[in-house]
Structure 1
Amino acid sequence: MKIIIEKDFEAMSETAKNILLGCMSQDKRINLSITAGNTPVGVYKSMIEIVKDSPNYTNVHYYNFDEIPVTDQAEGITITDLRKLYFTPANINEANIHPLTVENYAQQDRRLAMDGGLDAMLIGLGGDGHFCGNMPTTTSFENLTYKVKVSGEEPWFVPDMMEKGLEFVTMGPVSVMRVKHLILIVNGKKKAEMVKNVLQGPVTEEYPASVLQLHPNFTVILDEEAASKLDR
């Protein structure tokens, strides 16, 4: 595990951008999985300026690692957010976007293997210790890509759109551990305690992201606030 501590959100985002672009610049097909949400906004803003309409990155193929379906909406929350944050403003070719859905999740691991595996994955950290859609109480460290049904009694935060009975899909710990380079970005003081738990505490399903300590090529990029409780 390599931990990089940057001064602030902007510096953290710049470092993550440079690592991703380094991977994307290789002279071969690159399979990349990236996160939605607020944490990577700065990363994508900088990447768009470089990637948009550039012939140098047509080799990059994108895969979402989880998905929450929405009734009467053609695509789920994750891919919709990724389109808004990055795919559309970067003018990514539709042929290079490979959505994970509740319909095709059972084929996800085989599909990735046939495509050469994921070269890199950019993920965030939930305040409850989850990563991707691997939530406390629903995650087994033995899971490949799997489906989770919301019971309505989860002890973890459930967004408003995730009504009781809704099913979402996510790449499980086994699937994520197969990624060649795993990159975790976290910012802000409110996640400092969880950063310490998952990076320096025991590996436990209570904090699913703690299993990432075992990944052979794991880069963690933090701002100073998120790193403030780590034992240096």
Structure 2
Amino acid sequence: MEVVILPDSKQIAALAADTVEALLRRRPDAVLGLGTGPSVRPLFDELTRRHVEDGLDFGQVTVFVPDEYLGLPAGHPESSRHSLARDFTGSVGISPANVRAPDGTAADIPAACRDYDEAIRAAGGVDLQILGVGTDGHLGFNEPGSSLASRTRIKSLVEQTRRDSARLFGGLSEVPQHVLTQGLGTILDARHVILLATGAQKAQTVRDLAEGPVTAICPASVLQLHRHATVLLDEAAASSLRLADYYRHSYEMKLPWQGL
């Protein structure tokens, strides 16, 4: 795991966008895994700017959305697919046909989860997965206690996660109790995972996932086992790290050809 500490979310977005752009220049038909939420929106804004101003082409890209609320139709304003279209894919020319999310409206949920994982395999796997992290360490919607080897499946949301989403749904009672989510094992299959975290409220979580034990109580700690995981942090999110000075030094000393 590589930990990179930068001054603010703008610089985090720029560095992550450089990585996405380098991938697309090398492989225009890349497969991206894209989470939703406030942590990734600055990155989406920067990629959209590069698309509009610099011609960065997303026309051949395939996107896998890592999670979806159970029972929400695709057009619901807070469905993951709709949120991603609103915040990013609809602005950069990615066809809706090239965006795949777990089907939270399926009659047979276990089969829908298997179909989703099979679709990832059929696409050749995810080249680059970009995710945020919850204050309780959840990754995707793998809540604390999730199996570190899990595949896409249905999960019950903890009350804190539902409370965090209540303002988007117009009240806690409107937030679904269940989601479909890529499992931690599914996430680990991606060739490169970038995790974005900003703000002091994420500081303890970041310390747990980067420097604590690999444990189901902090699902994001499973990224310590990934062969190519990058954690991009602002100074506030990095404020509890014991090895922060080492991470800064290591990034400053990287050779020009290494990239992320």
TM-score by length of 1: 0.89
Moved over 4 A (4+): 52-55, 70-73, 161-165
* Matched-pair contact (CA < 8 Å) for 1:125–1:186: yes
Aligned residue for 1:87?
89
Change (3 A) 1:73 1:18: closer
Aligned residue for 2:255?
none
Instruction: Tell me whether 1:185 sits opposite 2:193 in the alignment.
Output: no
* Matched-pair contact (CA < 8 Å) for 1:52–1:91: no
* Whole-Å separation in 1 of the counterparts to 2:202 and 2:156: 26
- From 167, 181, 185, the equivalent of 1:170 is 181
* Whole-Å separation in 1 of the counterparts to 2:27 and 2:178: 38
* Whole-Å separation in 1 of the counterparts to 2:214 and 2:143: 14
The structural deviation recorded for 1:41 is 1.5
Q: What's the secondary structure of 1:116's corresponding residue?
A: coil
- Deviation readout 1:171-204 (Å, 9 max, x if unpaired): 0011011000000010011111110011100011
* Matched-pair contact (CA < 8 Å) for 1:146–1:172: yes
The structural deviation recorded for 1:70 is 5.1
Aligned residue for 1:63?
64
* Whole-Å separation in 2 of the counterparts to 1:26 and 1:56: 12
Structure 2: which 5+ runs fail to align?
A: 107-111, 244-260
* Whole-Å separation in 2 of the counterparts to 1:107 and 1:45: 31
* Matched-pair contact (CA < 8 Å) for 2:28–2:58: no
TM-score by length of 2: 0.80
The structural deviation recorded for 1:229 is 1.0
The structural deviation recorded for 1:105 is 2.1
The structural deviation recorded for 1:27 is 3.3
* Matched-pair contact (CA < 8 Å) for 2:197–2:234: yes
* Matched-pair contact (CA < 8 Å) for 2:210–2:221: yes
Structure 1: which 5+ runs fail to align?
A: none
Q: What's the secondary structure of 1:57's corresponding residue?
A: coil
* Whole-Å separation in 2 of the counterparts to 1:10 and 1:142: 34
- From 143, 150, 153, the equivalent of 1:143 is 150
Aligned residue for 1:49?
49
* Whole-Å separation in 2 of the counterparts to 1:2 and 1:113: 26
* Whole-Å separation in 2 of the counterparts to 1:71 and 1:109: 20
* Matched-pair contact (CA < 8 Å) for 2:68–2:103: yes
The structural deviation recorded for 1:31 is 0.5
Aligned residue for 1:134?
142
Aligned residue for 1:100?
102
Q: What's the secondary structure of 1:113's corresponding residue?
A: helix
- Deviation readout 1:52-101 (Å, 9 max, x if unpaired): 59473322111100001455664562111111110122232223222322
* Whole-Å separation in 2 of the counterparts to 1:148 and 1:38: 22
The alignment's C-alpha RMSD in Å is 2.2
- Deviation readout 1:139-194 (Å, 9 max, x if unpaired): 111211111245xxx36432335759743100001101100000001001111111
Aligned residue for 1:157?
161
Aligned residue for 1:221?
232
* Matched-pair contact (CA < 8 Å) for 1:63–1:98: yes
Identity of aligned residues (%): 25
